[in-house]
Amino acid sequence: MMFPSRLCLIAAVPLLLAALAPCRGDDDVDSAKDPKPTAYALCGRDGARLPACKDGSFDRLGREVDAAVKAALAKAPPIAVPILKRDQFWFRKMIGSAVDDAADQSKIQNRTLDDAVATLHRRIDMLHAIAQGFGRAGVTGRWANAFGTVDITPAGPDAFNVVLSGKASYGGSADYLQQICKANAVVRLGADGWLSGNVAANRDTADAQKPALETALLKMRRQGDSLRVLAGDEVLNKDNDTDFDCHGANQLTANYFAIESAPAANGRSAAAPFVAPTFDCTHPATESDEEICADPGLAANDVRINKAWKRLLPRLDAVTRRLLTDDQRAWAKSQPERYTSTLHPAWAKQTSFVHWTALARGNLAQLQRERIVMLEGYDEKRRGFEGEWWGYNATLSVTREKNGKLTADGNKWFEGDYKGGCDYEFKGSADGDVLRPDDKSKNPDTMERDHGSLVVNRADDEWAKRRVNSDDKLHAEAGEGKCKRSQAVSSTARLFPVRRSPLGNSDR
């Protein structure tokens, strides 16, 4: 059963996710599927007076990059093609930002163009080397991508020395525009097929007296013809730079490609089979689909979600099955939206044009873990209100106090606005399938059972529509708002009974 990450509703379909069709967004994400020609603005502004612009050599470099991309893609296995296209898309965004930053300055120095030219030359050389590296066995040798390199050498039975070097310049001289990080580790092969070990960051001479950090975890594994590297903590908003003691550790998490062929050392290949998700990785529909195909752990989660979904549906009555299918559709639609917003997280006051690859991967993994908990731990036998309730955009925990009162705590969130959610915190008494809230205001928090689901604040959908007048002033008769940034936002949510598990713990 196919489980694409971005879904569109279609009419008159059976209650299976296979009936949900992928839809494509009309945005920059599509450029990763069909990379645009490399074009830069530098020669179109003050830089036109520079020799490399006058003689056309800068433009020729752009064309050489495009030719090198096409040559590498022609040799890449079908599953590696989308990941290499994505890597080139990220490179183009990165150097495009650097060039645009330079072109916006009042006076362009020759060094600015020299740096851009050198970067393009390195990319051309790298792409030619990548074209020769497809088919390499094992993990030893050099691997590279748009952001850096990984060098792997044997270190004993099933163990390897790893040196990571990340370097990405988005223009300017500020730290946040210069993503540079070096680290090393010894990794060992585990039963799960991953190589893993603690990382110790390389330090400048001035910092030689500081104790080496050994808290960050490095994991890597072959995924088809690329090497998947996970560097640092997956927790949302975790600053991996702190553990690595360098700037740019976030971008070490990515896929790397073999630079020319290299034999496996002494038979220790650390080979691992490609982990396929439930959809076709030669044609991923969204950026989150690309990320799932690129990562064995995310792909395994995708398979587990689909298995749990198939097992759960037959246990539900027809109405609950329909309601849960609507929730599953909404969750699947939100997945690529959340991934993209975390890759360029302006909401977290990060620079929105810098790629935060570890943060985005961690967010996507968290979404999958939460869904696994919900589907595998679905409590269809629950009666009453007590317990955990989850939905695609809200959670609620209901407990009973000694005096018999019910207490509800939770929250609802919104895509693209991580600070604009709604908080639930209320009490009341159960009256059959309805909670009688202690709050006697015009628009109190409410709960009611609806077949196998729980509806929170059902009336707030209607209240929210009329809470704000046409002049953006609060309507005196529309009840109080329950959400943080907008009084016109509704706190209504439909949730489902879940037996909680540590697997789904969230930092939201």
For 77-110, the pLDDT digits (tens) are 999 999 999 999 999 888 888 776 655 554 555 5
Distance (Å, rounded) from C-alpha 404 to C-alpha 409?
A: 16
Delimit the domains of the chain by residue range: 7-11+25-296, 387-504
Task: Output the pLDDT for position 2.
Answer: 37
Joined together, the tokens standing for residue 279 give: 């959809």
Strands 195-201 and 178-189: antiparallel
Is-contact 348 238, C-beta < 8 A? no
pLDDT at 330 over 50: yes
Q: Give the distance, in angstroms, between the CA of residue 428 and the centroid of all CA atoms in the same chain.
A: 39
Q: Give the distance, in angstroms, between the CA of residue 283 and the centroid of all CA atoms in the same chain.
A: 18
Residue the block writes with tokens 């390897």? 160
Average pLDDT over residues 338-348: 86
Average pLDDT over residues 393-419: 90
Average pLDDT, the chain: 82
Cβ of 376: how many Cβ atoms within 10 Å?
A: 19
Cβ of 202: how many Cβ atoms within 10 Å?
A: 16
Q: What is the pLDDT confidence band of residue 478, given thresholds at 50, 70 and 90?
A: low
For 411-434, the pLDDT digits (tens) are 998 876 767 789 999 999 999 999
Q: Give the distance, in angstroms, between the CA of residue 224 and the centroid of all CA atoms in the same chain.
A: 20
For 29-60, the pLDDT digits (tens) are 444 555 555 555 556 555 555 666 667 777 78
Q: What is the pLDDT confidence band of residue 508, given thresholds at 50, 70 and 90?
A: very low
Task: Output the pLDDT for position 276.
Answer: 97
- CB neighbours of 98 closer than 8 A, spacing ≥ 6? 115, 116, 119, 169, 170, 171, 177
pLDDT at 378 over 70: yes
Task: Output the pLDDT for position 104.
Answer: 56
Instruction: Find the helix or strand (DSSP H, E) in which 495 lies.
Output: strand 493-498
Task: Output the pLDDT for position 21.
Answer: 33
Average pLDDT over residues 149-175: 89
Full-model pTM: 0.87
Q: What is the pLDDT confidence band of residue 246, given thresholds at 50, 70 and 90?
A: confident
Task: Output the pLDDT for position 38.
Answer: 57
**Helix (H) and strand (E) counts for the chain?**
10, 18
Average pLDDT over residues 343-350: 83
